[in-house]
Structure 1
């Protein structure tokens, strides 16, 4: 009988030892990194034809979709897209004719699509807000929110053709940038 009692006491000691708090404990701090899936980019149409006009008139047309894609996975994914135009020229060499970029106006209109959190703000929401783009102007911006986002808009370009402009096909470059 004493053997059974001693075995039972020993078993009880083993169970209570297993349930007792450890004499020493240490923590491990675990970290992980969430990488951005990409950066901040802007895409624009390669070409646009906004139509025909005569001297002393205006020609306007849509440029096509402009998209800012923000894949920085940022806590503060703010960005501003700007736009500027060159002069429009025809011909070549010293005989080329020019429509100065002071005659080129732009309005972004509202977004045609957005995703993500925060506030998306057009630079020129209506035709009444159009701006001359001989210097960089804000085309669109985004503030607040977190994480990845995008915005797309389809801006309108207006070119005022000066009196005494010669006929021809005029070409200029409209550059969108994003920071």
Structure 2
């Protein structure tokens, strides 16, 4: 009787091992939680290194374009608004006496419309038309272009025009100054 119980117990154990060792059946679908990160970029402005506006006589005007100015916003912000501004130094020739200086305020800036834009939101020139041209200043920033709303990345490019009101008492020479664009 004892042998029968041992055989029965052995058979039950063998059946259990067979049951546990049976191949697993695969689920018809499975999911993987996947992540990635979009990094914060930068807000940059790029303007020409040099520009030659041309020439003109004392008491006249000199009008010329500065060249393409581009804002690139890769911050990936939920509100991708920014303001580009411009300022200038006084322009001088020779030793910088009053007759050798054209003040920044004697130079008007006209951003004009954008030449290209990308992204969403509203792009607005600081001075959309020549009639809206405004004097530069070496202290106060003049709005050059703005972007409001939109999300993620965007770009705007414009080609501003400078109008130099040459003082009547200016002496002949090449006048040099700096026009600085910034964005925030």
- TM-score in terms of structure 2 length: 0.78
Using the alignment, how far apart are the partners of 1:54 and 1:147 within structure 2? 48
| 8 Å Cα contact 2:99/2:169 also seen in 1 | no
The reply to whether residue 58 of structure 1 matches residue 46 of structure 2 is no
Matches of 2:42 and 2:108, distance apart in 1: 30
Q: Determine if contact 1:84/1:176 at 8 Å carries over to the other structure.
A: yes
- Gapped regions of structure 2 (runs ≥ 5): 1-14, 20-24, 26-32
Q: How many pairs were matched up?
A: 155
> Whole-Å Cα distance in 1 between the matches of residues 81 and 127 of structure 2?
18
- Give the ranges of 4+ consecutive aligned residues of structure 1 lying more than 4 Å apart after TM superposition: 29-32, 93-96
Residue 128 of structure 1 corresponds to 131
Cross-structure match for 1:150: 155
C-alpha separation in 2, matches of 1:77 and 1:44: 21
Mapping for residues 8-87 of structure 1, pairs under 5 Å? 32-36=36-40, 38-87=41-90
Equivalent-residue separation in structure 1 for 2:169 and 2:117 (angstroms): 43
Contact 1:90–1:96 (CA<8 Å) still a contact in 2? no
TM-score, normalised relative to structure 1: 0.80
Q: C-alpha deviations, 1:76-133, integer Å up to 9, x for none?
A: 1110000011111001366981011110100100000000000000000000000001
Unaligned runs of 5+ in 1: 1-6, 12-17, 19-28
